[in-house]
């Protein structure tokens, strides 16, 4: 029977989302949106390893979450404001969002992981820590880096601003795939092209209505999607993580890179047509 044991290491957060006049509070971060896709099948188990505070307890039952109890005072918080497709962000309690201490329980979880997502939202997961995590996974574990957090830093007013990915040389070789967004950093495609000449890693760059680009030592291949008119987009928050979850599941299953990216485009498109808080009611 086909079954995938997945682990996401990184950050969970509490999102305060305002999208074109609609306001809601919900659990956020890559684990939440990865589960939107992965919980649709009984053929997966997703375990989240992330620090959180007591304020996350109302959301905790929707996760297979480690540590079992809060290990910090407040959970990472994001304010996401989207106006006509453009998003601005503030971040709160980011100094609390440190990697959990590696324990025997974590070691056991990682030892049976088929797919590992490395998905920090803040740049506090050091290369030494990530290398220690990777060494605990099986040799054939598929490792997918979502480096969004390494491109972020925060000003004195908690605004999210760009940061150079200083850990790239140490982290990129540890990953089979790196999934990037065109919004992560200026000239991100040029960066991915440069990195692809140095490392065996494959980079997948998502470009919203244009679909995605596969970049590796063989060059680059564009995988288009069917654009959705702006007026028909219901909620864009989390579409990138749904893309990632779909890609990981399908690639692990069929080992076909281009077909898996096409499937991921289709899954992200479906997410754009549904409100996140409506989907979250069905999380289990």
Confidence label for 5 from pLDDT (cuts 50, 70 and 90)? very high
E strand or H helix at 153:
strand 152-154
Cα–Cα dist 175/130, whole Å: 10
Task: Tell me what the mean pLDDT of segment 8-37 comes to.
Answer: 85
Residue 141 Cα distances to 6, 110, 111, 154, 233, angstroms:
10, 10, 9, 33, 35
Residue 93 domain-assigned? Answer: yes
CA distance 47 to 105: 12
Compute the chain's Rg from CA coordinates.
Answer: 17
166-215 pLDDT, tens digit each = 999 999 999 999 999 998 999 999 999 999 999 999 999 999 889 999 99
Residue appearing with tokens 């999607």: 225
In a domain, 112, yes or no: yes
Provide the 3-class DSSP secondary structure of residue 210. helix
* DSSP-based three-state secondary structure for 117: strand
Q: What's the pLDDT score for residue 16?
A: 83
Which has more pLDDT, 251 or 41? 251
Token pair of 36 as six digits: 């939107």
The pLDDT of residue 59 is: 92
* Lowest-pLDDT choice from 56-65, 68-77, 95-104, 133-142: 56-65
In a domain, 241, yes or no: yes
Q: With 70 as the cut, is the pLDDT of residue 18 above it?
A: yes
Count the domains in the chain: 1
Give the confidence band of 249 by pLDDT, cuts at 50, 70, 90.
very high
The pLDDT tens digits for 28-55 are 899 988 987 888 777 899 999 999 999 9
Q: 25 forms bridges with which residues in the sheet?
A: 16
- Mean pLDDT within 109-137: 98
| 47 Cα distance to chain centroid | 14
User: pLDDT tens, 211-229?
Assistant: 999 999 999 999 998 888 7
Residue 162 lies in a domain: yes
Q: How far is CA 187 from CA 35, 102, 167, 225, 236, in A?
A: 30, 35, 18, 21, 22
More confident residue, 2 or 43: 43
* Per-residue DSSP letter, 52: -
Please report which confidence band the pLDDT of residue 19 belongs to, taking 50, 70 and 90 as the band edges.
low
| Residue carrying the six token digits 């480096």 | 147
Domain residues for the domain of 125 are 4-179+235-279
Least confident interval from 107-111, 124-128, 232-236, 275-279: 275-279
More confident residue, 103 or 280: 103
Give the up-direction half-sphere exposure of residue 144: CA atoms within 13 A in the CB hemisphere: 25
- Has residue 184 been placed in a domain? no
Query: Region 132-148: what's the mean pLDDT?
Result: 97
In a domain, 196, yes or no: no
Percent of the chain with pLDDT strictly greater than 90? 71
* Residue position matching structure tokens 């470009």: 207
CATH number of 138's domain: 3.40.1190.20
Give how far Cα 200 sits from Cα of 128, 173, 192, 203, Å: 20, 7, 12, 10
CA–CA dist 39, 44 (Å, integer): 7
The C-alpha atoms of residue 62 and residue 58 are separated, in whole angstroms, by 9
Strand 177-181, strand 142-145: pairing? parallel
**pLDDT on residue 66:** 96
- Burial group, residue 275, by CB count within 10 angstroms (0-12, 13-18, 19+): middle
What's the rounded mean pLDDT across residues 80-109? 88
Q: Quick check: is 150 in a domain?
A: yes
* Any domain includes 71: yes
């Amino acid at each position: 029977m086909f079954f995938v044991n997945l682990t996401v290491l990184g950050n969970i957060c509490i999102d305060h989302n305002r999208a074109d006049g609609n306001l809601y509070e919900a659990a956020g971060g890559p684990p939440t949106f990865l589960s939107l896709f992965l919980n649709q099948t009984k053929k997966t188990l997703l375990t989240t390893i992330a620090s959180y505070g007591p304020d996350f307890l109302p959301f905790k039952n929707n996760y297979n979450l480690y540590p079992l109890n809060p290990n910090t005072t407040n959970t990472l918080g994001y304010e996401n404001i989207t106006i006509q497709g453009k998003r601005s962000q503030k971040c709160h309690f980011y100094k609390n969002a440190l990697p959990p201490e590696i324990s025997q329980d974590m070691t056991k979880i990682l030892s049976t992981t088929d797919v590992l997502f490395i998905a920090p939202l803040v740049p506090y997961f050091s290369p030494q820590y990530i290398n220690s995590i990777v060494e605990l996974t099986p040799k054939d574990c598929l490792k997918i880096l979502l480096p969004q957090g390494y491109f972020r830093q925060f000003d004195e007013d908690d605004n999210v601003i760009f940061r150079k990915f200083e850990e790239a040389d140490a982290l990129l070789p540890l990953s089979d795939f790196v999934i990037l967004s065109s919004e992560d950093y200026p000239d991100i495609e040029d960066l991915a092209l440069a990195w692809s000449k140095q490392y065996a890693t494959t980079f997948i760059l998502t470009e919203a209505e244009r679909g995605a680009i596969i970049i590796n030592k063989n060059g680059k291949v564009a995988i288009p999607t069917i654009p959705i008119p702006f007026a028909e987009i219901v909620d864009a928050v989390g579409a990138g993580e749904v893309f990632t979850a779909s890609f990981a599941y399908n690639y692990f299953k069929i080992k076909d890179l281009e077909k898996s990216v096409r499937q991921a485009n289709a899954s992200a498109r479906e997410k754009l047509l549904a409100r996140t808080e409506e989907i979250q009611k069905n999380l289990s």
